[in-house]
Every structure is written in structure tokens, then in C-alpha cells.
Amino acid sequence: MAKTITHAEAAEAFLKDADRTQWHDETLWHVRTKRDTAAQKLPEWEQLRENASKVKEYVLSHLDELLVTFEKNAKANGIEVLWAKDAAEHNQHVYEILQKHSVQNIVKSKSILTEECGLNHFLEDKGFDVVDTDLGERIIQFNKQVPSHIVMPAIHLKKKEIGDIFHTHLGTQQGADDPNYLTEAARNHLREKFINANAAITGVNFGIVESGGFVVCTNEGNADMGTHLADVHIACMGIEKLIPRKADLGVYLRLLARSATGQSITNYSSHFHRPRSGKKMYLILVDNGRTEQLGREHFRNSLKCIRCGACMNTCPIYRRSSGFSYNATVPGPIGSILSPGMDLKKHSTLPFASTLCGSCSDVCPVKINIHEQLYQWRQVVTEAGHDSAAKKWAMKIGGKVMGSPSLYDFLGKSARSALKLTPKKLVYSRVNTWGKSRDLPEPPKESFKEWYRKNRKP
């Protein structure tokens, strides 16, 4: 089996290009500052976050009943509701719907859930043409990549690189990278795809229990364009996406766009309640590990996430290692607390890809305690044995030393004199990772304790 690349290895590779790292960091930091400006304009911001968190708390603790009511109301509206316990079932449902309606051409607006389920590959293998209609997603689809960010999927690409991709796939002029020109080309290209599509697949941002309807937020209107033209609309929704009442939407819509990009609201917040006459609307409710996560006491409220991406933009590690370094559908801090629940071994280094600085938790609009969950996942990872034996021993010995005052004093003194006596070359040998790019502190002539004994107390 191929060795899974660790986050540290992937980050190191990314960091080799110092200029790109700086550009990536600054691009995302800029989004973070736009978020700050937008948030600071609402004096009630912290109250909104609190409300958003509490409402989701309610949803998670009543998920079973709420889902049943939601299904009932959606069905009464004329939506066909399907349940999927995992990715395979979800993909199979989509496939069967497409077959039933003899669909060939599919347009899809942004949906992290379908990424999670690997829907595109599944459908392409079966001969369907799936066109991602979100501009960023279309770009990476051309480039045969996965999203590096959940809100800005192509954020890892520079303007010039996008120009080259468009030149290859859409025949735009070589070297042209004017955003207006490129967007125009994409618009014309996508228009044709929209017109020819027989089915539109969308994600769901919010499923509203009381109305049995759902809301899809986009900035480009591409979800609407797709669903208005195609005969079949398939909406794919994670079961945690519920909110109880229409009134709750006000809380989330105000938080979502401000947190994501600093806009006051997404350009399109489209409400879907029932199919237009003669058309079909399907809603697939997907579990795929969510129930299991709900059952994990320390990690359940990771399911409050509204996928705004703010924790990525603020994360000093994400900004300097890019989304791909996480090797997971959802990168960044939230991904690092979701992914270990899906595959602990594969994602065992992600909870350690953090300094536990806590910026993610403070920026999160639904107040997920992300950094505390990272800490908890670390405990789970080491208990499951997915950690290096050397580190485990070092920690065990460290624990023993710190648990014994006399051993601690003795070893502290020895280490300090060893540092003093050892030639620099040896101190900074290859095994000393700290010292690769950093000096060690100068060992002092005495420790604080030694000083204290001499100067204060017997």
C-alpha cells in the first residue's frame, strides 16, 4: 500500500516555493480581513454567533425527529425524498434517477457533499458528462484537480495559470489573464452547457424543517441557472444541514457570507420548495459517517459547520501549506476534525497540523471549538497507535521525568551542562530538528531553582 503522505511532508513541499507561499498566505489573509471588516459592522455579531451555535445545538440533539418532520413536509410539497447511509448509496440514487429520466448531460453547482461522495468520478465512469458550473470548480475540473478550499475551490491558482487553463480548454487568447475577458469566455461556455443539460445537481446549505423547503447559496447564480432550465433537479444534502424554522435563516444568512468572503449576503440565496409543474425535484439525505460523528461526545458539534471556510482563511498553517496538503475533501481546521472520523489512520497527522492557536474557533460563525477538538483527536490518534514509536517513547520518558522532581532536577542540570560542553557541530547535528533553522537558547550558569536556593530560601 502506498504510504500516506503526512501533512508536514506536504507542507514542506509547498513551502519550497517561498514566493507562492507568500502569495497564498496574503491572498487568504486578505479574505480574512474582509471578513473582519464585515463582522465589525455588526455590533450584534457575537450574539448572532451564539444564536447560530445554539440553534444548531438544538438541531443536533433533536436530529432524529427533525429529519422525519422535514421529510414529511418536503414530501407534502411534492419533493421526492431519498435516504443514503453512505457515499455509495448516495451515488447509486443519483445514478438511478438519471437513468429513470434518460439524462445524459448534467450541470452541477457547488456541493462539498458530492465531492465527499466522489460523485463526479462515479458518474463519469458510467459515461455521463458532468459539468461543474461554479467558475472556480469548472477551472479545477479542467485542470483535473480537486478543490483546495471549500468556498474558493481554485484559490491555489494564480490569474496567469487560469488564463493558461482557459487557453487550453476554451480557446481564449494565449497569455490573456484579464478576469473580465476570462469570465466572459466561461460564461459563454457554461451557457451552452446549461441549455443542453437535462438534470441539475445542487448542494443544500439549509434544509428548513417547518417548510420542507431548502436553500442554496451561490454567488454566481449558477444553481438557479441549472435548476431553472433542466427537467430534473437533484439536491444532495448532509443530514446535519437542517434548521428548524424559516426565521432561523436570518441568523445564518447574515453570518455565512460575511464569514466566507466579507459580503453582507451571498448574491443568490435561492429557496426551493416544490418542483415546477411537469418537472421533478429529488432530495437525497446523506449520512455518510455523520451519525457516527454525532455519537462522539467530544466531536459532535463539528456537525454545526455551515461550510463558510473562514477557519481556512484564518488558519496560519492552511495559508502557508494550501488545501492540498490536507489530502482530504474538506481541508483546513474543520477538515482536520472531520476527516479523522472518516479514516483515522489516513488522516492521523491532520490533528497535529496546528499550533492550537485557536483562531479558527474565534472566527467560526457557529462557535465550533475547533482547536479543542484538535487536541482531543490527538489523544485519540495516539491511543489508536497511529503515531511514531519514537515520539511515544520520548513522551513516556518525558512524563516520567516530569513526574519526579529529583529526576527532573538531575536531568535538567545534566542537559544544561551537556549543552554547554558539547561542540556546536554536534548540538546542531541532523537529528536536532529544532536546530535546523533555529539557535538553541544559551544554557544559563544556573537554573531558577538553583538561584532561588541561594538567594531566597534555605
Partner 1 sequence: MKVALFVPCYVEQFYPEVGIATLELLEKYGVQVEYPLEQTCCGQPMANSGYQRFGDDASRVFMENFGDYEYVVAPSGSCTLHVKEHVLGESEVKVYELCEFLTDILKVEDVGVSFPFKVGIHASCHGLRGLRLAKSSEIVGDDFNKPRTLLEKVKDIQLVELQRKDECCGFGGTFAVSEEAISVRMGMDRLADHEDSGVEVITSADMSCLMHLQGLSKRNQHPVKIMHIAQILNGAKPS
Q: Which of 1, 2, 46, 188 binds partner 1 (CB under 8 A)?
A: 46
Calculate ∠ Cα 102-116-120, nearest 5°. 35
User: What part of residues 230-249 is at the interface with partner 1 (CB under 8 A)?
Assistant: none
Instruction: Work out whether 25 is an interface residue with partner 1 (CB under 8 A).
Output: yes
Instruction: Work out whether 68 is an interface residue with partner 1 (CB under 8 A).
Output: no
For residue 217, what is its C-alpha cell?
A: 447559496
Q: Which of 4, 20, 29, 219 binds partner 1 (CB under 8 A)?
A: 29
Q: Which of 66, 151, 186, 381 binds partner 1 (CB under 8 A)?
A: 381
| Amino acid at the residue 97 | I
Q: Which of 229, 342, 401, 427 binds partner 1 (CB under 8 A)?
A: 401
* Spatial distance between the Cα atoms of 361 and 374, rounded to a whole number of angstroms: 11
Out of partner 1, ligand SF4, none, which partner does residue 399 contact, by CB within 5 to 8 A per kind?
A: partner 1
User: What part of residues 249-268 is at the interface with ligand SF4 (CB under 6 A)?
Assistant: 259
Instruction: Work out whether 38 is an interface residue with ligand SF4 (CB under 6 A).
Output: no
Residue at grid coordinates 422535514: 70
Would you tell me how many other CB atoms lie within 10 Å of the CB of residue 398? 10
Beta strand residue intervals within 109-252, DSSP E? 129-132, 199-202, 206-208, 213-218, 232-238, 242-243
Instruction: Work out whether 39 is an interface residue with partner 1 (CB under 8 A).
Output: yes
Bridging pattern class, strands 242-243 and 206-208: parallel
In terms of CB distance, is 74 or 381 closer to partner 1?
Answer: 381
* Spatial distance between the Cα atoms of 232 and 421, rounded to a whole number of angstroms: 76
In terms of CB distance, is 276 or 396 closer to partner 1?
Answer: 396
Q: What is the DSSP letter of 343?
A: -
Out of ligand SF4, partner 1, none, which partner does residue 76 contact, by CB within 5 to 8 A per kind?
A: none
Longest dimension (CA), the chain: 92
In terms of CB distance, is 131 or 368 closer to ligand SF4?
Answer: 368
Out of ligand SF4, partner 1, none, which partner does residue 5 contact, by CB within 5 to 8 A per kind?
A: none
Tell me phi and psi for residue 311, to 5 degrees.
Answer: -70, -25
Site string for ligand SF4, 307-326 (x = CB under 6 A): xxxxx---------------
Instruction: Work out whether 306 is an interface residue with ligand SF4 (CB under 6 A).
Output: yes
Out of ligand SF4, partner 1, none, which partner does residue 221 contact, by CB within 5 to 8 A per kind?
A: none
* Spatial distance between the Cα atoms of 292 and 120, rounded to a whole number of angstroms: 25
* Spatial distance between the Cα atoms of 191 and 92, rounded to a whole number of angstroms: 28
Tell me phi and psi for residue 265, to 5 degrees.
Answer: -155, 155
User: What part of residues 336-395 is at the interface with ligand SF4 (CB under 6 A)?
Assistant: 363-366, 368, 370
- Given the rule CB under 6 A, which residues bind ligand SF4? 259, 305-311, 334, 363-366, 368, 370
